[in-house]
Structure 1
């Protein structure tokens, strides 16, 4: 292979479960034949809704893998994911890949919503919710359940870019392979139907009374579905060496933000066109190379014309007019976070068999949708490459480019430019700024708040300089903190929020617990009164990526955008993902923003998990952590870009490493072996020896078993006895998914120019270690110095 070409990434196995039935063969067979599997829903109450139909999975859900759950409860999103994952993994020879080098990247929109619903319903009725339910609610809980069931101990990551999640997950997984962070990845998406989600889309008047007819002039809206799609990805050279059958190759993907509206796409498709162009550029292909498009095709009045405009804008009107476009949602419904994965599987089969599946239900041309939507029956094609589009709430867009193995195409090799930090913002219980946080650490000043009997630290903030009352009217606290932190970091970097230079900036947003304030506000009335109580103003805020959408909308950011949710390792994951995109030249400037907020239900959930510290009579430590909220944003840039604009460089992201314990029996390995592997991987990625590290910023937050495991891992690293160990979260509190970003900000603020490691660990045994270096010895930095 020529040296200027990147390694190929091969899809060597797939798994699926949808309303077409269990298995990839059922999905592809239904899509190819145009068989509509959108039927009256049997398993959920449909009274009070504008439809009785959905793409409901009726095949038995009998995964072999076990996961931690209440004895009388199953999380349907996990079961769907496991069924698809087990089929995909069965297509790979056993023992071919070391489990330590086998990753999982799972996309979801609603995650364990049924678990959250059960928790809220029990509390609302006066019952005591099962203490195991909270451990199934978050996106990372799904990813870790799959990894543990299959005993995969590589990176375990969750993406929640709403309806673009499945495609985003496959693209990120392909990146991990090209960067040699893994040898194989199980990637895809999963989402389950629920009365809560149906009520939400019904409140937006989006549901069609008939099976969705995407792109057709007589379309009436979307049909919701459920299911899971999973693919096993390996590098093409490994597939060739072991004689694996390659269905298709992932040549590239693109991400972008509309920054236009919380639910509606930009009417001209500007953001979506940006994602398509980025995917083509990443793949090293031109519009004329695309022979088939699997469209987003929801069937709603606004989405279909916007996508049609985006395709024409990105590919050119004449080229676009000659490419067949079809929507898989016409036969299985909209699978939300699983849609991109299921549709990628259909796209791969379309390439393999050289058949464009039809768009079912298409009956009349809409002048606003002037492309070839393959009405009626499947059609032979001659395509070497295909495009799969997925667009989401908040204007988050993802596009995948797949190629036929026979094409022999390899995307251009990416250079690895150094990534620097030019702006930092910290909102914490210590106040506004990293300096205040450090003063509280040095003075051992703990936050003194209490919520639902739990010791907590809250953020006090006046958002008015950045968000007026009107702008905040439909935002929740997660969105407000995220916008303010990101704006302050951009200002510190010398980039005016909303200005022209900000238009190319992207945001990699992270949240560990997600929009629980909005979820509670929306769900509880629906549980009590039914769909009529669903609030359309609150529903858009219930998706994890809504805060990223608010950041893009309010600050004018249009660059690559994604939302990650990796539990307490989220902040580090956002920084690592952003650094990889920048190092490979996929963006010039990105903001990695991590935010989590507290509600009484969140405090109760951590209490049920045995993790939150309660205030006893003596106030003595109880072996658990003080919960905190916060928002931290770091502006990351390619060094050449930062230097060209004269930015002040605060530090460098040298590398990072990831690993998982993947244990079904306990939440983390008491010997800290997974964290040790993450630290050693970070050292390797940064090109450092352990003796070169001057300090480690610990994940330790006061939860004794986890802290002892980390101490054991650090001791085995055999570093200099003079190594400085910092545990700021034992003072400031555990800010959930924000912790890794907070510790990175402190490391860059206080560093002396020598390398430092920053540890993060989720409560499910996922570990991410960052390697960073402050810009200069002995420099004290304050916010605003990057201007």
Structure 2
């Protein structure tokens, strides 16, 4: 059995917006979502900038008492999922609950709470919160969303570092395409902006130490110096096409392909050959029935780290061939919001879907100096208006995890 899978709803909470409409308007306006750290004193700390969600209040979507028992990443995921369901325009009560699933990726989980509870533990072990374990574990985002929606089908958390959300979307796509589910809420969530997390990433030389906001996240620029740690969630409502069509759903775009591979190379560095990432891209566009020259937009992983941007460029050339790669427009949403780790693929899939629908590709911000090893078209000069035949959204995670989804314009 092979069925078509479409996007009928989307929801997000991220540094550029607390819903899809606000997010997309700010993306199109090329607004910068990163900000100076105010969670702790940075006077003696080398990292100054993060991609934080400001003034977040989940009470519109979650009961206040219940929200207190949910970690921030679970709150993000629940709000984004409810937004996606609202946009889909139905609660899917006509579908058997076991045919409705929730797959939400989380790269790290409740790290802030872990930091706080370990501090308590070191002072007095019996003061550790009874809610610590259920609040901290990454799968609680998917579990909570299921409790909120009544979806009883496949319910799990993909944890593949920065590829978590794209793997979640890809696996949901597979479940629907192959006939195991009819609808799924899928994507990713993350909330671990703290001195503890920032210290870990900084000590491994992964973070930008820029002091000016506009110089912090600069994907593909010669002088890029690392990523900006961000937080948020992005959730899609995927639906079997015939069901969506029968109920007159507003179809945003079509998920048409998915590729997943492993570098089997290094704990943190992508493979220099780009072979595995290229194979994931190739699997995605071939499953979508596209030729390399028909892939004319890629929302890159584009982290602003030295190795990722260089090796992702290599992988794109290998996946499409040199000639097609040079004609493809590439951008990095992380240039605006930073790197949301396990949530990155979710918020970037939203941008990719809307780009396909509207024929709009946002500019990659922060780029000033060309890098000879990153020599493709990264939309660094201006926004583009392009009729997008096929788009790829890439996610490449620590551990060598590669995931790519292919999104096509919905044409009935």
Shorter-chain TM-score tier: over 0.9
Q: Give the counterpart of 1:403 among 383, 405, 408.
A: 408
Instruction: Answer with 1 or 2: which has the greater Rg.
Output: 1
Q: Give the counterpart of 1:109 among 107, 110, 113.
A: 107
Q: Deviations over 1:284-311 (max 9, x none)?
A: 3221111110000000111101000000
Q: Distance in 2 between matches of 1:17 and 1:70?
A: 15
Q: Deviations over 1:561-603 (max 9, x none)?
A: xxxxxxxxxxxxxxxxxxxxxxxxxxxxxxxxxxxxxxxxxxx
Q: What's the secondary structure of 1:400's corresponding residue?
A: strand
Q: Distance in 2 between matches of 1:105 and 1:67?
A: 25
1:143, distance to aligned residue in structure 2 (A): 1.2
4+ residue runs of structure 1 moved beyond 4 angstroms? Answer: 66-71
Q: 1:193 and 1:48, CA in 2 relative to 1: closer, same or farther beyond 3 A?
A: farther
**Counterpart in the other structure of 1:732:** none
Q: CA RMSD in A?
A: 1.8
Q: Matches of residues 199-348 of structure 1 in structure 2 within 5 Å?
A: 199-208=199-208, 209=210, 210-348=215-353
Q: Deviations over 1:685-742 (max 9, x none)?
A: xxxxxxxxxxxxxxxxxxxxxxxxxxxxxxxxxxxxxxxxxxxxxxxxxxxxxxxxxx
1:118, distance to aligned residue in structure 2 (A): 3.0
**Counterpart in the other structure of 1:39:** 35
CA contact (8 A) 2:285 2:295 kept: no
Q: Distance in 2 between matches of 1:68 and 1:185?
A: 27
CA contact (8 A) 2:193 2:230 kept: no
Q: 1:95 and 1:326, CA in 2 relative to 1: closer, same or farther beyond 3 A?
A: closer
**Counterpart in the other structure of 2:134:** 135
**Counterpart in the other structure of 2:198:** 198
Q: Give the counterpart of 2:80 among 80, 84, 88.
A: 84
Q: Give the counterpart of 2:49 among 36, 50, 53.
A: 53
**Counterpart in the other structure of 2:164:** 165
Q: Distance in 1 between matches of 2:381 and 2:345?
A: 23
Q: Distance in 2 between matches of 1:363 and 1:43?
A: 30
Q: Give the counterpart of 1:362 among 364, 367, 370.
A: 367
CA contact (8 A) 1:253 1:398 kept: yes
Larger relative CO (CA 8 A, sep 6+): 1 or 2?
Answer: 2
TM-score, structure 1 as length reference: 0.50
1:67, distance to aligned residue in structure 2 (A): 9.4
Q: 1:257 and 1:14, CA in 2 relative to 1: closer, same or farther beyond 3 A?
A: same
1:45, distance to aligned residue in structure 2 (A): 4.2
Q: What's the secondary structure of 1:337's corresponding residue?
A: helix
Q: Which moved more, 1:134-143 or 1:299-308?
A: 134-143
Q: Matches of residues 276-675 of structure 1 in structure 2 within 5 Å?
A: 276-406=281-411
Q: Distance in 1 between matches of 2:226 and 2:91?
A: 46
Q: Distance in 1 between matches of 2:344 and 2:63?
A: 25
Unmatched 5+ residue regions in structure 2?
A: none
1:255, distance to aligned residue in structure 2 (A): 0.7
Q: Give the counterpart of 1:65 among 62, 73, 97.
A: 62
Residues paired across the two proteins, number: 402
Q: What's the secondary structure of 2:58's corresponding residue?
A: coil
CA contact (8 A) 1:33 1:378 kept: no
Q: Give the counterpart of 2:6 among 10, 19, 44.
A: 10
1:33, distance to aligned residue in structure 2 (A): 2.3
**Counterpart in the other structure of 2:185:** 186
CA contact (8 A) 2:52 2:193 kept: no
Q: 1:48 and 1:284, CA in 2 relative to 1: closer, same or farther beyond 3 A?
A: farther
Q: What's the secondary structure of 1:394's corresponding residue?
A: coil
1:47, distance to aligned residue in structure 2 (A): 4.7
CA contact (8 A) 1:14 1:88 kept: yes
**Counterpart in the other structure of 1:472:** none
Q: Deviations over 1:13-64 (max 9, x none)?
A: 0001111121011222222222111110223444543221111000423142
1:156, distance to aligned residue in structure 2 (A): 1.0
Q: Give the counterpart of 1:121 among 119, 122, 138.
A: 119
**Counterpart in the other structure of 2:176:** 177
Q: 1:216 and 1:118, CA in 2 relative to 1: closer, same or farther beyond 3 A?
A: same
Q: 1:186 and 1:70, CA in 2 relative to 1: closer, same or farther beyond 3 A?
A: closer
CA contact (8 A) 1:65 1:150 kept: no
Q: Distance in 2 between matches of 1:54 and 1:369?
A: 25
Q: Distance in 1 between matches of 2:397 and 2:45?
A: 22
Q: Distance in 2 between matches of 1:137 and 1:122?
A: 15
**Counterpart in the other structure of 1:93:** 89
